[in-house]
Amino acid sequence: MNLLTILVSTVFVNNYVFARFLGICPFLGVSQKTETATGMGLAVTFVITMASAITYLVYHSILDPLGIGYLQTLTFILIIASLVQFIELVIRKMSPSLYNGMGVFLPLITTNCVVLGVTIINIQDNLTFLDSVINGLGASLGFFLALILLAGVREKLELADVPEALKGVPIALVSAGLMSIAFSGFSGLV
């Protein structure tokens, strides 16, 4: 498959958040402000792209030859957890303000199902090394885009007169639904 096709397809057409429902927890959790959303998006982009590369190598050079493919879930989640730990260390050193902004959600990237989801889909669909990395990059950019868009909408919603029961997450979910309809307009693009 053409690399550009993979990228456009994962960012717009089969957006992992809107079409595959991966990464909903952070999508709702850190989308209140565009600033934290940007930080989270960047961290996730880095983790997913790296994780795609590493899990590919581990699966095809260790798990598969040894015939222990069933350890896939266990191994991948450990790889992702250590990657996240590493990034947490780096961000704490380089930008304490970003670190404070992301707060509890940074360690939670481990349990962000986009990360594990992408790595498993890479193996399932039998992608090559380069395809896997691009698929990871596209998935995380798609996640980034969805996160920033929702954050923008939610900042405006703060000022809107929303019915009491719908305040907070319910109205965010309804907005996400409307965005999902908009994104379905991209289908047929690739």
Partner 1 sequence: MKLSNIFKNGIFKENPVLVQLVGLCSVLAVTTTTVNGLSMGLAVTAVLLGSNIVISLMRNIIPDKIRIPAFIVVIATFVTLLEMFLNAYMQSIYNALGIFLPLIVVNCTILARAESFASKNSVVPSMVDGLGMGLGFTFAVTVLGIVREVFGNGTFLGGTDFVINVFGEAYPGAGILVAPAGAFILLGIFIAVFNVVLNKKKKTN
Task: Point out which residues bind partner 1 (CB under 8 A).
Answer: 18-25, 28, 70-74, 77-78, 81, 107-108, 110-113, 115-117, 120-121, 124, 163, 165-166, 169-174, 176-178, 180-181, 184
Shortest gap between Cβ of 179 and partner 1 (angstroms)? 8
What would the DSSP string read from start to end of 25-87?
Answer: HHHHHS-SSHHHHHHHHHHHHHHHHHHHHHHHHHIIIIIHHHT-GGGHHHHHHHHHHHHHHHH
Shortest gap between Cβ of 89 and partner 1 (angstroms)? 15
Cβ-proximal residues to 158 (8 Å cutoff; 6+ apart), any chain:
none
Nearer of residues 54 and 77 to partner 1, judged by Cβ:
77
Cβ atoms of 91 and 99 closer than 8 Å? yes
Nearest to 25 by CA among 102, 111, 101, 107: 111
Helix (H, G, I), strand (E, B) or coil at 162: coil
Cβ-proximal residues to 155 (8 Å cutoff; 6+ apart), any chain:
32, 33, 34
Shortest gap between Cβ of 74 and partner 1 (angstroms)? 4
Nearer of residues 4 and 169 to partner 1, judged by Cβ:
169
Question: Rounded to an integer, what distance in angstroms lies between the CA atom of residue 48 and that of residue 111?
Answer: 12
Shortest gap between Cβ of 27 and partner 1 (angstroms)? 9
Cβ atoms of 28 and 174 closer than 8 Å? no
Cβ atoms of 80 and 110 closer than 8 Å? yes
Nearer of residues 117 and 152 to partner 1, judged by Cβ:
117
Nearer of residues 90 and 174 to partner 1, judged by Cβ:
174
Shortest gap between Cβ of 119 and partner 1 (angstroms)? 10
Shortest gap between Cβ of 55 and partner 1 (angstroms)? 13
Nearer of residues 4 and 78 to partner 1, judged by Cβ:
78
Nearer of residues 9 and 110 to partner 1, judged by Cβ:
110
